[in-house]
Amino acid sequence: MAHYGQPAYPYPGHPENPGARTSNGLAIAALVLGIAACVFFWTVFGGILLGLVGLVLGIIAARRARGGRAPHRGMAIVGAILSALAVIASSVIVAIGVSFLTSDSFKDYNDCVQHADNKSEREQCSEDFERDVNNN
């Protein structure tokens, strides 16, 4: 029975319990960052930095959703997974790049180019470097 001045049911468009679940902006942010990290995984900023932030936000959002305090648990998990994949791929690319730049062949090539006086000597350095890389 409704009291005087109060409707027996809520007005259309007004939920009965408005504070029960709020939107989960962290899940949306994790998904957006995860997608961006996957697109830019070949860069240190895109893959590692965006990926780490997306991973942290995804984990926080998934925990909130699991506790019933926020919706979109699946979105948070997908964002965290995409972010983790981007961090892994970017880390592998960075490791390969560092390995290549610290190799003896690259150091020899760099020394050769620095001591080359003209274009033909630099081209000879490139040919020698290519031969060294193909033989190893």
Q: Which has the closest alpha carbon to 108: 91, 84, 133, 75?
A: 133
Report pLDDT for 7: 56
Report pLDDT for 4: 59
Report pLDDT for 132: 78
Report pLDDT for 59: 94
Both tokens assigned to 49: 């930095």
Q: How many CB atoms lie within 10 A of CB 102?
A: 9
In the predicted model, residues of the chain with pLDDT beneath 70 are 1-22, 136
Report pLDDT for 46: 85
Report pLDDT for 54: 95
What whole-number distance in Å separates Cα of residue 33 and Cα of residue 55?
8
